[in-house]
Amino acid sequence: MPVFYDQLKRKVSLDRIPQRIISIVPSQTELLFYLGLGDNIIGVTKFCTHPHNQTKHTTKIGGTKQLNIELIRELQPDLIIGNKEENERSQVEDLMNICPVWVSDIDDLAGAIAMIESVGVMVNREAEANILVKAISNQFNALIKVEKPLTVAYLIWRKPYMVAAGGTFINSMLQLCGFTNAFIAERYPQVDTMMLINANPDLIFLSSEPFPFTEKHIKEFKVILPNAKVVLVDGEMFSWYGSRLLLAPRYFSSVIESLV
């Protein structure tokens, strides 16, 4: 029986190559489809929207943190792929009573690449995964960082304001672009107006997810920090750690060029 280890260092035993896979993380769902496993994916979350023409036809098993455990049981999966941060621990533990569950734990590019490689081996798509990893690595190696030091407040939520700070995958992407995070507290701290003023970032990035910041929110932050440049950014590019990483460096380059 093949034995694999997930990114929590848990042993995951599979008696054969998985044929009925459920993904409970959007970026990893996109990765599985990219690797050519469309016929084997039997369930995804309602937030798994890429690739749209395929996920729209796949059974929805709830949200990333509100899974329909009974529906998942009825689908009879032989592998479930989740993530430590995006899924609730108690629900993941419930899923372990149904079938093997492989859990990722990613906070930087190296972790994302390791995930892609491990998943590729586990689902018998090792060659495809290796080609993808090489392409992603080449794209990031060619990324030209921002020339001058700029601090960034990366907003992910409104009412209350929340930012992506240290220890997050988003922060690692900012660093690869050459930006410095204005908030060094761990993970996703709640901040108020005075904290934003005291941080005094050069840039405010308003993410498209999980809160959908739009043009109408720019004025709100210009009032708080009139000297900062407020930029709407694609949250998927900064936070998805699957095959979307192929597109991220080019997007980051466009963001950097817009700041010149």
The list of the chain residues with pLDDT below 50 reads none
Place of tokens 């095959």: 243
Number of Cβ within 10 Å of residue 173's Cβ equals 25
> In the chain, where does DSSP find H-type helix?
26-34, 52-55, 69-75, 89-95, 109-122, 126-141, 169-177, 193-199, 218-224, 235-239, 248-258
CA torsion 145-151-152-153 (nearest 10°) is 160
Give yes or no for a contact between 54 and 38, defined as CB atoms under 8 angstroms apart: yes
Q: Are strands 101-104 and 11-13 parallel, antiparallel or unpaired?
A: unpaired
Closest CA to 226 of 199, 256, 202: 202
Domains and CATH numbers, the chain: 3-140 (3.40.50.1980), 151-258 (3.40.50.1980)
d(CA 43, CA 97): 17
pLDDT in tens, 139-193: 999 999 998 899 999 999 999 999 999 999 999 999 999 999 999 988 999 999 9
d(CA 180, CA 188): 16
* DSSP state letters, 200-258: --SEEEEESSSS---GGGHHHHHHH-TTSEEEEE-HHHHH--SGGGGTHHHHHHHHHHH
d(CA 124, CA 228): 48
The per-residue pLDDT for 2 is 82
The per-residue pLDDT for 1 is 66
The per-residue pLDDT for 103 is 98
The per-residue pLDDT for 260 is 73
The per-residue pLDDT for 3 is 87
Counting Cα atoms < 13 Å in the Cβ hemisphere of 94 gives 14
The per-residue pLDDT for 185 is 86
The per-residue pLDDT for 143 is 97
